[in-house]
Chains A and B, each alone.
Chain A
Amino acid sequence: MAGQQDKAAARSGARLWTGFRFLSAGLLLIWLVLPLLPLAIWSFAKGWFFPDLLPRRWSLRAWDYVFSDTAGLFDSLGQSLVIALAVVLVSALVGLPAGRALGFYQFRGKQLVELIILAPLIVPGIAVVMGLHSLFIGLGLTNNLAGVMLVHLIPTLPYMVLVMAGVFANYDIAFEQQARALGASRIQVWLFIMLPSILPGLIAGSLFAFLVSWSQYILTLMIGGGRVITLPLLLFNFANAGRHDITGALALIYILPGVIILLIMAGYLSGRGPAFGGTGRP
């Protein structure tokens, strides 16, 4: 029977598809997790030399040191966190209205504006910061937190603005009119209509901005002038010094926010409702 053959073919096709999905999930896991494995091993190793597959002697020395006062982990962690949070806040405050304008309105030169917003992602950070350095010295914005926060905005703002523009392109302003028609004031419309609509996108954009700030190295080094030691700078110091064990331990702490954020994002990106918010145009 042709129908039964079709069904059998469909079944084996589905089985093949499931198998393929498991395979790709497995490969992805290996791709993401395997490179981290040596870091974890190093952090517990007391010397690990070729051609040994695993270290001969294990030790908690690196972890002891990392959590001691001399390592400076907690200072760096604090500075990274303060900078990243401030950068996220400012990015959101700028990115929200900018994204709203880009998402809603058609205006002359819009494509040019979008290109200019993207430019910091195209131009290498080191080139930008070379040019900015003397200006920042003149303004007294080097060697301090404020300058580092400001320079971190260069790579974070494009992400925030573009994510928010995407959210607002998918947001129907008629809902705001309807809320007005039902007696909501302007502030109430922002609070009860706009904010819940864009919240998933705002969270996604903020997490992006956080990670981008968290992982800055060259911008922090140049503008912070060695006074502002964020976690990547600390990490690089030990890597440069050849302390693979301490580097391994610090790196594991360093990637922790990324892993947490990935888990949060997975909820948003797994197809539950509109990934980046918006109310959807009817």
Chain B
Amino acid sequence: MTQVTLANLSKTYSGQDRPALDSLSLDIRSGELAALLGPSGSGKTSCLKIIAGLMDPSSGDLRFDGQPVLQLPPERRGAVMVFQNHLLFPFMNVADNIGFGLKMRGIDKAEIARQVAEMLALVRLPELGARRPAELSGGQQQRVALARALILRPRVLLLDEPLSNLDAHLRLEMRDLIRSLQQELGITTLFVTHDQEEAVMLADRVALILEGRLKQFDRPEAFYQRPADKATSAFFGGRNFIPGTVTSGRFESASWAKLDRSS
């Protein structure tokens, strides 16, 4: 169980004047399933890579359980990232893919085999250990990628668009699987998506990022009931906006007058 704290994280790519990530601060609770939501190009994947240690931020701080981790290399952070396009190693079979992280830690073969079998059962692919990744369907590949990350018992699990490469019916199944595994194992999880429905269905809390800036970090229903601003509401499907003011619990708008006249 790990609490993840992002403090004013910024990332500006060389040769670009606008930052991909602009002073992002988030506090993800221990065991929480949080979503980073935003249109493509809003710096979400950069954010995951920074947390995983695959990329350095331009400025800002990152802490796991209050301990600064930016100086640690990825293999010592305990934050494991699953990429969007699965990236199963094509020259290894499924079991070797899942066992890869344990092998890198120097764990002995028999123990790896035991844990791999356990993971295969957990993601409901018990018979497929000897297959090559190319022989699997997209949904199966996604599950293997998930198993490959979970076997490491990470402190933080980072998922980049875990559902975007799947068919509609597989997406539902995968969504339920991710949710139930996350609940069962209690791993603090941050996942990136551009689909607000996915974020709302899966996450405990959603962080909406527009143009590199955090708009709102809240429970899903709050985005409908109390959106931070017009752009936030528009992202969640708001279409009709009536300008006006609230005074002592009463909403008043100049537009009402026009409506009155036309009726």
Tell me if chain B binds chain A.
yes
Per-residue CB contact flags for chain A residues 163-189 toward chain B (1 = under 8 Å, else 0) read: 000000000101101111111110010
Which one of A177, A180, A193, A282 contacts B89 once the chains associate, using CB atoms below 8 Å?
Answer: A193
Which one of A172, A181, A193 contacts B80 once the chains associate, using CB atoms below 8 Å?
Answer: A181
Rounded to whole angstroms, the CA-CA distance of A169 and B107 in the bound complex is 34
With A182-B149, A182-B152, A184-B75 known as contacts, the answer to whether A280 contacts B90 (CB < 8 A) is yes
The reply to whether B85 and A282 form a contact with Cβ atoms under 8 Å apart is: yes
Cβ < 8 Å to A, chain B residues 156-197:
none
A58 on the B face (CB < 8 A): no
The reply to whether B75 and A185 form a contact with Cβ atoms under 8 Å apart is: yes
B242 to chain A, nearest CB (A): 46
Per-residue CB contact flags for chain B residues 25-41 toward chain A (1 = under 8 Å, else 0) read: 00000000000000000
The reply to whether B83 and A174 form a contact with Cβ atoms under 8 Å apart is: yes
A190 on the B face (CB < 8 A): no
Per-residue CB contact flags for chain A residues 185-216 toward chain B (1 = under 8 Å, else 0) read: 10010001100110000000000000000000
A279 on the B face (CB < 8 A): yes
Which segment, of B14-22, B56-64, B98-106, B245-253, faces chain A? B98-106
Which one of A172, A188, A279, A280 contacts B104 once the chains associate, using CB atoms below 8 Å?
Answer: A188
B81 on the A face (CB < 8 A): yes
B90 contact set on A, CB distance < 8 A: 279-280
B241 on the A face (CB < 8 A): no
B83 contact set on A, CB distance < 8 A: 174, 177-178, 181
Cβ < 8 Å to B, chain A residues 75-103:
none
B87 on the A face (CB < 8 A): yes
Rounded to whole angstroms, the CA-CA distance of A144 and B87 in the bound complex is 49
B108 to chain A, nearest CB (A): 16
The reply to whether B87 and A174 form a contact with Cβ atoms under 8 Å apart is: yes
Q: Which residue, of B90, B101, B152, has the highest number of chain A Cβ atoms within 10 A?
A: B90
A181 contact set on B, CB distance < 8 A: 52, 54, 74, 80-81, 83
B256 on the A face (CB < 8 A): no
Per-residue CB contact flags for chain A residues 254-282 toward chain B (1 = under 8 Å, else 0) read: 00000000000000000000000001101
B105 contact set on A, CB distance < 8 A: 183
B155 on the A face (CB < 8 A): no
With A174-B83, A185-B104 known as contacts, the answer to whether A180 contacts B74 (CB < 8 A) is yes
The reply to whether A182 and B85 form a contact with Cβ atoms under 8 Å apart is: no
The reply to whether A183 and B85 form a contact with Cβ atoms under 8 Å apart is: no
Q: What is the chain A residue whose CB lies nearest that of B100?
A: A182
Rounded to whole angstroms, the CA-CA distance of A56 and B49 in the bound complex is 79
The reply to whether A178 and B87 form a contact with Cβ atoms under 8 Å apart is: yes
With A174-B83, A185-B104 known as contacts, the answer to whether A180 contacts B91 (CB < 8 A) is no
B105 to chain A, nearest CB (A): 6
Q: What is the chain A residue whose CB lies nearest that of B149?
A: A182
B164 to chain A, nearest CB (A): 13
B149 contact set on A, CB distance < 8 A: 182
B11 on the A face (CB < 8 A): no
A280 contact set on B, CB distance < 8 A: 90
Rounded to whole angstroms, the CA-CA distance of A177 and B74 in the bound complex is 10
B44 on the A face (CB < 8 A): no
The reply to whether B87 and A183 form a contact with Cβ atoms under 8 Å apart is: no
Q: What is the chain A residue whose CB lies nearest that of B90?
A: A279
B104 contact set on A, CB distance < 8 A: 179, 182-185, 188, 192
Q: What is the chain B residue whose CB lies nearest that of A280?
A: B90
B148 on the A face (CB < 8 A): yes
Rounded to whole angstroms, the CA-CA distance of A177 and B52 in the bound complex is 10
The reply to whether A183 and B89 form a contact with Cβ atoms under 8 Å apart is: no
Rounded to whole angstroms, the CA-CA distance of A182 and B89 in the bound complex is 12
A39 to chain B, nearest CB (A): 41
Q: What is the chain B residue whose CB lies nearest that of A186?
A: B73
Which one of B49, B54, B74, B91 contacts A183 once the chains associate, using CB atoms below 8 Å?
Answer: B74
The reply to whether A196 and B52 form a contact with Cβ atoms under 8 Å apart is: no
Q: What is the chain B residue whose CB lies nearest that of A193?
A: B89
A180 contact set on B, CB distance < 8 A: 53-54, 74-75
A215 to chain B, nearest CB (A): 33
The reply to whether A175 and B75 form a contact with Cβ atoms under 8 Å apart is: no
Q: Which residue, of A183, A196, A280, has the highest number of chain B Cβ atoms within 10 A?
A: A183
Rounded to whole angstroms, the CA-CA distance of A192 and B102 in the bound complex is 13
A92 to chain B, nearest CB (A): 19
Q: What is the chain B residue whose CB lies nearest that of A174?
A: B87
For this complex, 5 residue pairs linking A to B, each with C-beta atoms less than 8 Å apart, are: A178-B89, A182-B101, A182-B152, A192-B104, A196-B91
A-B contact sample (14 more), CB < 8 A, given A181-B80, A182-B100, A184-B75:
A174-B87, A179-B89, A179-B100, A181-B52, A181-B83, A182-B80, A182-B152, A183-B74, A183-B80, A184-B100, A184-B104, A185-B104, A192-B104, A279-B90
> Which residues of B are in contact with A by a Cβ distance under 8 Å?
49, 52-54, 73-75, 80-81, 83, 85, 87, 89-91, 100-101, 103-105, 148-149, 152
